[in-house]
Amino acid sequence: MGSVYYHFALLCAFRPFVNASIEDSDFHPYRICKEAAQSILALVQSYDDLFTLRRVSALIPYFVHASGLLGVAMETEGASMNQVHLRRRRNQQGNEPESAQHKSPARTSDIGPGPPTNSYITMSATNHARQLLDKMGLAHPAATVARDQLR
């Protein structure tokens, strides 16, 4: 999770300069912040896939919240972060979870007998942040508050 701290530091350092226009320079604070926020969400999702979000540092909900806030700010300005493609999870009964509401017909799994099924869901970075915060909500009450602020 050390990389999450690094990307959060980048997000905090360059966020004040997102709207600054610097001519004749390869310095793009907007792109740095966007990539840092997306990296935070991807790293936390990877951690969730491997372990669980119940035992993460108490700072992680704040990092995910900051990434979600950047997504909200970009959406209100008419821009957005890249869509997130997550592998659809099945619960113990073999049913799809309620988070599978954001279906993506673009990717299908044709492995095994029977008709192909959608194996990925697509959602915005802001919705992804909400979903991650929801998973952390039981262990970290701040995550529930942060999730509600992103609505």
Domain ranges of the chain: 2-83+126-149, 84-123
* pLDDT score at 87: 78
pLDDT digits (tens, 9 = 90+) for 24-49: 778 889 899 999 999 999 999 999 99
pTM of the model: 0.78
Q: What is the pLDDT of residues 78-91, one digit of tens each?
A: 887 888 888 776 55
Q: What is the mean pLDDT of the chain?
A: 82
Answer for the pair 64, 133: CB distance below 8 angstroms, yes or no: yes
Mean pLDDT of 116-126: 78
pLDDT at residue 45 in the model: 94
Say if residue 118's pLDDT is above 50. Answer: yes
* Region of poorest pLDDT, from 4-18, 46-60, 110-124: 110-124
Phi, psi angles (nearest 5°) of residue 142: -65, -30
